[in-house]
Structure 1
């Protein structure tokens, strides 16, 4: 298996040593999956090698938040912690594999996706571009399924035999269910003649990203450490607000960010006419809504839509919204009397979210 390096852009929700331990454990889990697959299918073993490459560029945000929730309630580092942390990273990677198919993207984190690898294999085998794209996307769906199955297995064993077993397992399954619901809403909103309202977008982003990326990693980590169900839910709900803020900034970077820093296209969301927070905020202005209708009808270019979005001031409105969400989250953490360690970590999360550029 390829060696992975810890990138300097990793969020500091967990210390460097803990992140290195998570990375090592993740590599071990993937290596074990590859070894098991090699017994019955060399092709599947090769796919796990490609999955390993894809995992190498991750920032480990979700595992770090599992650790944050765990440490906030006095948890001591353990194999159970690293299993649960890695299960959330495997889930994240599974969703990214499928998301690349939905978005028809072949670049992520500045590198070719797994789907691009298998597309290129099809081209090398003499297939035309349509069939090659289909082969790449099919492989990504299969890889996502493999990752999802592995994630469920690892999460299930993390709390096995502990009093919190049922609650941890329920939190992980909720993460999967809500991510799927949010992805479906995102897809259906993109098919509508009218973009979703700001309220609808925020709800969709809560389901699609905030739940599995912030709320439930924090909540599951707290449960694993022995927090009461109510305490863990409080921490999770505060994390949900931070997760929505994170996704709002992600929408901004996905359209106005530097591709060299973000590692992804700034045209994908606009090209797919996705109902991002930027589109919903700008759509209240007549000039932009007319331009959006023209673009969706094929009567204008993507560059025209981008120019109208820039002129709408939506980026500034979105950043202000993210700031408000983060402020609300940290106030809630103080009001609800979460442990001092949890409050300090949440304040750090807020600073990182609002200052991120990738």
Structure 2
């Protein structure tokens, strides 16, 4: 069975679990002000959909730790042992929502997945009665409520882990691992915010990719699941190596999609108009001539750049060889991830799934 089929079968149990969780939370907080109820409705909406890659990686890590594999003909619902990991998988998805909500504020983003970002949603609430008098404060109100909603999401994620059916000792280790992952993510985000103001070396850009993407999106989920499944240090070390290489490749693909992807498909604005310091942009500056560099600096971070400007930027990136360099680099990283798969598991089916994940991260369109 391939990766996509495994993912589909996992989601067949995960999505109903997540839906029921939010339904129960909305009912639980109904005794409070309607704003709090709206928080949970918006969190449920914001957290729905998507690839659910992080949740699946938690499950996959757990699979490695337990040395078990479910039978798709029986259905995941019949495998009670796997029900234990669903709260942890959902916690990681809610953590993802928390980080995205705050990231959208930092990036001053208006849209996420084709819909208004959380702070923009709440900003619009101020213009209607009885809050008309606060219309001038709409921006601050939206930011404030989005920050609080993100915080609440983070608290709920830890509550999910704490109330799971794993042994208390394992839950403490799990929470410690998640805290470590969040600290790394925070460090990476801080460095990413710093880069446009002071510039960044290639090594610093790689460090941001490591901290902000690889450890948060791949290493963290895989290791959490593996720890809870009882994996040994050597297995977790191999999963970490796989996750780091895969995560770096994932971010490189994101960099490419940020310039060459279809915004309607990716749901994200073009990186160049946002002035993001990516490896693709760094390599472009390294390879272009003085005239092209001057033009790029004029357009970089310019939200008023028109479609013609952005098209020309894309052509410059292609012509100078930066795109080709990044594409080769992501393939190298994916291949590096594949090399450690045999150290993770000797199960042929699971080896295929890990290999297909490495291919997926560089072959996706969003």
Q: TM-score, normalized by length of structure 2?
A: 0.85
Q: Which has the larger radius of gyration?
A: 2
Aligned equivalents of 1:257 and 1:354: distance in 2?
13
Report the equivalent of 2:16: 24
Is contact 1:261-1:357 (8 Å) kept? Answer: yes
Moved more, 229-238 or 64-73: 229-238
Q: Do the aligned partners of residues 166 and 47 (structure 1) sit closer, same or farther apart at CA in structure 2, a change above 3 Å counting?
A: closer
Report the equivalent of 1:119: 123
Is contact 2:196-2:276 (8 Å) kept? Answer: yes
Aligned pairs for 1:205-224 within 5 A = 205-224=209-228
Q: Displaced runs of 4+ in structure 1, greater than 4 A?
A: 125-130, 295-298
What is the CA-CA distance between 1:127 and the residue it aligns to?
A: 6.9
Aligned equivalents of 1:329 and 1:35: distance in 2?
44
Aligned equivalents of 1:172 and 1:261: distance in 2?
30
**1:338 counterpart (320, 341, 345):** 345
Is contact 2:274-2:301 (8 Å) kept? Answer: no
1:175 and 2:181 correspond: yes
1:61 and 2:53 correspond: yes
**2:283 counterpart (270, 275, 281):** 281
Report the equivalent of 1:264: 268
Calculate the aligned-residue CA RMSD, in Å: 2.5
Which stretches in structure 1 are left out of the alignment for 5+ residues? 1-10
Aligned equivalents of 2:257 and 2:47: distance in 1?
21
Aligned equivalents of 1:297 and 1:250: distance in 2?
17
Is contact 2:64-2:231 (8 Å) kept? Answer: no
Task: State the SS of the aligned residue for 1:167.
Answer: helix
Moved more, 204-213 or 36-45: 36-45
Aligned equivalents of 2:146 and 2:4: distance in 1?
30
Aligned pairs for 1:71-82 within 5 A = 71-73=63-65, 74-75=67-68, 77-82=81-86
Is contact 2:284-2:317 (8 Å) kept? Answer: yes
**1:97 counterpart (96, 101, 108):** 101
Which stretches in structure 2 are left out of the alignment for 5+ residues? 69-78
Report the equivalent of 1:7: none
Task: State the SS of the aligned residue for 1:227.
Answer: coil
Aligned pairs for 1:103-252 within 5 A = 103-124=107-128, 125-126=131-132, 131-158=137-164, 160-161=166-167, 164-192=170-198, 194=199, 196-252=200-256
Aligned equivalents of 1:317 and 1:140: distance in 2?
38
Aligned equivalents of 1:22 and 1:70: distance in 2?
14
Is contact 1:210-1:241 (8 Å) kept? Answer: yes
Moved more, 146-155 or 33-42: 33-42
Q: Do the aligned partners of residues 109 and 294 (structure 1) sit closer, same or farther apart at CA in structure 2, a change above 3 Å counting?
A: closer
What is the CA-CA distance between 1:263 and the residue it aligns to?
A: 1.6
Is contact 1:220-1:232 (8 Å) kept? Answer: no
**2:313 counterpart (282, 306, 319):** 306
Q: Do the aligned partners of residues 200 and 130 (structure 1) sit closer, same or farther apart at CA in structure 2, a change above 3 Å counting?
A: farther
Q: TM-score, normalized by length of structure 1?
A: 0.87
Moved more, 18-27 or 310-319: 310-319
What is the CA-CA distance between 1:186 and the residue it aligns to?
A: 0.5
What is the CA-CA distance between 1:329 and the residue it aligns to?
A: 0.8
The CA deviation string for residues 265-316 of structure 1, in whole angstroms up to 9 with x for no partner, is: 22xx223321111111112124344334444697x95726725434433222
What is the CA-CA distance between 1:342 and the residue it aligns to?
A: 4.1
